[in-house]
Structure formats: C-alpha cells, structure tokens
Homo-oligomer: A and B are copies of this chain.
Amino acid sequence: MQFEEAKNKFVQTWGALGSQWGINKTMAQIHALLMVSKEPVSMEDIMQELQISRGNASMNLRGLMDWGIVYKANKPGERREFFVAEKDLDELATKIAKERSKREIKPALKVLKEVSAVDADNSEEAQHFIAQTKKLYDFVSSADEMIDKVTEYKDNWLGKLMMKILR
C-alpha cells in the first residue's frame, strides 16, 4: 500500500468508528488526520484533504479543542493558524476519560442518586427499582473512580506493575 492510500484508509476508518461511538464523523476524521501529521496542519489543508467546507472545519476544530485534544499552533512568519493533535496516547486517553466523566458520568450519577431516593412505598416494583438503581449508582461510580485511579497510577511503580500484570 502507498502512503497516501494508507493515510486515507486510516482517516476514513477512524471517522466511521467515531460515528459508532457518538462522535461526529468529521470530528473523528480531523483528529485522525492531525494524529498522523508530523507538522501542524492549516485549516485550508484540512478542508482540502477531507473535502469539507470552511464552516464545518472550523466548528469541528473548535469541538476538538474543547475536548482538549487538539491545540492551535503558530508557525513563525505565518499569519494563519495551524493545528496539532495531542499525540501522546496515554495523555489522550486520560483527557478523553476525564472529559467524558465530567460531561456524562457525573450528571448520570446525579440522576441515579435522585431517582434511587424515590419514596419507598411498599410495592414490590418500587422496592426493586430502588435496589436496582442503587446498584447501578455504585457500579457506575466505582467504574468512574477506577478510571481516575488508573490514569493516576500510570506514574508510579505499583501502578505500572499492576498494568503489567493486568495486560
């Protein structure tokens, strides 16, 4: 396979995968493109390579920057802006995990706590509802904490050992 072909295939695949994970296709493609680009890329180039409009490029780049996984980069002597992706994968995973936790898990936990505090009338249905939503709360909140811990532990020897054993 030739370089351009491979690059294209990678970008397309990553985009399709993004859709399945609730990320819009273009955003995932831009991210993929930046991930494999050595040099910062201009908006013009992104539009060109992905065949998308200026507005689309602009909005999705903004989205990626909100996630904290793409940055602006200035090339000396150049007027326009260039973009680079966070390329360190541990760092990337950490940022995505933290952000999803903040945006989705935390609010979901709030709702779980609320609904599991429903007035316990004596119906079996209500009892079961309470038990089940409580279990769900515990489960989701320890999964959430665990992700925090795993990202922290990456830096110390015990954590690294665990990662070794686990994988």
Contact = CB atoms under 8 A, between A and B. Distances in A.
A19 to B, nearest CB: 7
**Copies per assembly:** 2
Contacts of A121: 3
Given A7-B129, A13-B111, A166-B149, A2 B118 contact: yes
Interface string A17-56: 1011110000000000001111000000000000000000
Interface residues of A, number: 54
A3 B36 contact: no
Interface of A: 1-3, 5-7, 9-10, 13, 17, 19-22, 35-38, 87, 89, 93, 104, 108, 111-112, 114-115, 117-119, 121, 123-126, 128-129, 132-133, 135-136, 139, 142-143, 145-146, 149-150, 153, 162-163, 165-167
